Amino acid sequence: MIFNRVKPLDAILDVAAKKSLERTLGGFQLMLFGIGCVIGTGIFVLTAAGAQKAGPGLMLAFAIAGAICIVAALCYAEIAAMIPVSGSAYTYTYATMGELLAWTVGWALILEYAVAASAVSVGWSGYFAGTILNEFLGIQLPAWLSAGPLILGGAPGGLINLPALVIALLVTWLLMVGTRESAIFNTILVAIKVAALTVFLILTLPSVELQRFNPFLPAGLFGGFGSGVGAVGAAATIFFAYVGFDAVSTAAEETKNPQRNVPIGLVGSLLFCTVFYILVAAGAIGTIGGQPIMGPGGIPFPAGSEELARQCALPQYAQMLVCSDEALAHVLRQIGFSEVGNMLGIAAFVALPSVILVLLFAQTRIFFVMSRDGLLPEKLSKVHPKWKTPYIVTMITGAVVAVGAAFLPVGQLADISNGGTLFAFMMVAIAVMVLRRTAPDVKRSFRTPALWLVGPATIAGCIFLFLNLPFLAMLVLPIWAIIGLFVYFGYSRSHSLLGKGIVEIHEHDTAALEPDIPGLADRGRD
């Protein structure tokens, strides 16, 4: 049987029990933590792509994505509190549904983290080129150095996004040598981002003109499965803006009265962020407009496409929201607040590299855990004797991330990343329901309320958003999965330690890795 290799839950829980943490977090603290983890990257870099898909319907898209995140977060919280060890959804699946499905989840997470890091690198590049180089230094990077090829959705005359390539390689190098990032520094970055977006709201909302929201749904609610447009298509893309919520889920083991406080922290932070995001979208669209550029048949040109890039190069479209590489800073400049727009650009410029660092580290952590289980070559998880980092896999990951950032636009990268994310969250919901049946007596510090409803709602929501991604982005996940199955049956299955009857669960190996970055295992995409 190919589904008969299930990692013993008792062994995993024994490890978890040895590293139990003091319960110190209340509901309000947990909510603030969630807000800090969620607000940031997505809203900074995906506003333009979302508006091109949905126009003013971007506001509705944030509500749809937020609702699906809430039910997914409640599922995640139970299993994260129950099995608080490294490996995230990969480990959860290994303990419930076996090695093969765990492999598919881990393989999908590798794709998710790497592509997400590429997306954030491209987003950072837009603010670097627009704010730091152009606004402050008066340097206009030529298209061939600031965008990927037109055929890949870059820009006319584009060849390579050099700033995105450089930042990805720089962060990779920092991870390899074990640079640490303090909790205080993380807190400061969160404060900068929230403050920048709050100032954006204060300056834009008084200038909102209601006629700019008409038509509200220029591409409709549903653009059609596989089209990637409409309010639901935009929700599938901007799901990327929310996924830091699982940082709150994994903090369940540190929460006082988790059955009460975890839902407060999760639902409260996601509701706050959803309202915040809707207001930011309203401020951006209501001041300069956010209607998409329509193609043949009244259907928006696909975000990140060659056709849209050609349109955005035309003078009549160049200043539109949907054509900006630094949307929020661009809006403020357009309404006469250039200096404040530049400050917002600096905030993004400073904050986004730490997000790339988090994503790259999280990806290498998944690699490390899978390699430790024998599913990937042991050499990949080799730790450098001086730096104490898994330097080989970090180099490989960094190179792939840098190539993706150099040649692909941010909208396409976010869509591809979301495919892996949605699959992983769906599997977590399934794992929670399976564990309720197979391990009903295991202690749970938090139990998902109304799991009979929340679990299926999470599965349905994830599938629903996946089917509303652009068709090409939908294809990436199954193609990646097929490649993964070849790797599994060609190498991993025969080298699996569990398959050889060896049950090794040594959480201290991952805990000893450098760098010690707070919240890193929690995947906060802030």
Q: What is the pLDDT of residues 348-357, one digit of tens each?
A: 888 888 788 8
* pLDDT score at 523: 39
Cα atoms found within 13 Å of the Cα of residue 120, Cβ hemisphere only: 29
Query: Token pair of 343, please?
Result: 């400050």
Cβ atoms of 368 and 106 within 8 Å: the answer is no
* pLDDT score at 517: 44
Q: Is the pLDDT score of 518 beyond 50?
A: no
Query: Token pair of 169, please?
Result: 């390689």
What is the DSSP secondary-structure string of 11-28?
Answer: HHHHHHHHT-----B-HH
* pLDDT score at 230: 93
Q: Is 482 exposed, middle or buried (0-12, 13-18, 19+ CB in 10 A)?
A: exposed
Q: Is 493 exposed, middle or buried (0-12, 13-18, 19+ CB in 10 A)?
A: middle
Q: Give the percent of the chain with pLDDT over 70.
A: 87
Cα gap 194→266, rounded to integer Å: 18
* pLDDT score at 288: 94
* pLDDT score at 260: 78
Longest dimension (CA), the chain: 67
Q: Which of 240, 219, 375 is nearest to 290 (CA)?
A: 219
* pLDDT interval class at 359 (50, 70, 90): confident
- pLDDT tens per residue across span 437-473: 988 888 787 889 999 999 999 999 999 999 999 998 8
* pLDDT score at 13: 65
Cβ atoms of 385 and 128 within 8 Å: the answer is no
Cα gap 171→352, rounded to integer Å: 11
Cβ atoms of 481 and 297 within 8 Å: the answer is no
Cα gap 69→276, rounded to integer Å: 15
Q: Is the pLDDT score of 296 beyond 60?
A: yes
Cβ atoms of 300 and 292 within 8 Å: the answer is yes
- pLDDT tens per residue across span 396-429: 989 999 999 999 888 888 889 899 889 988 998 9
Cα gap 104→483, rounded to integer Å: 10
Cβ atoms of 238 and 61 within 8 Å: the answer is yes
Higher pLDDT, 388 or 239: 239
Higher pLDDT, 173 or 7: 173
Within 10 angstroms of residue 228's Cβ, the number of other Cβ atoms is 31
pTM: 0.85
Q: Tell me the average pLDDT of the chain.
A: 83
Within 10 angstroms of residue 217's Cβ, the number of other Cβ atoms is 15
* pLDDT interval class at 340 (50, 70, 90): very high
Q: Is the pLDDT score of 18 beyond 60?
A: no
- pLDDT tens per residue across span 195-239: 888 999 999 999 899 999 999 999 999 888 888 899 999 999 988
Cα gap 477→347, rounded to integer Å: 33
Q: Is the pLDDT score of 329 beyond 50?
A: yes
* pLDDT score at 250: 55
Within 10 angstroms of residue 340's Cβ, the number of other Cβ atoms is 18
Per-residue pLDDT, averaged over 314-326, amounts to: 90
* pLDDT score at 23: 65
Give the highest mean pLDDT range of 93-97, 160-164, 265-269, 508-512. Answer: 160-164
> Roughly how many angstroms between the first and final C-alpha of the chain, as a whole number?
42
Cα gap 348→248, rounded to integer Å: 23
Q: Is the pLDDT score of 281 beyond 90?
A: yes
* pLDDT interval class at 247 (50, 70, 90): low
Cα gap 211→52, rounded to integer Å: 18
* pLDDT interval class at 479 (50, 70, 90): very high
- pLDDT tens per residue across span 70-88: 899 889 888 877 776 655 6
- pLDDT tens per residue across span 52-72: 999 999 999 999 999 998 899
Cα gap 408→122, rounded to integer Å: 8
What is the DSSP secondary-structure string of 416-461?
Answer: HHHHHHHHHHHHHHHHHHHHHHH-TTS--SS--TTHHHHHHHHHHH
Q: Is the pLDDT score of 524 beyond 50?
A: no
* pLDDT score at 405: 93
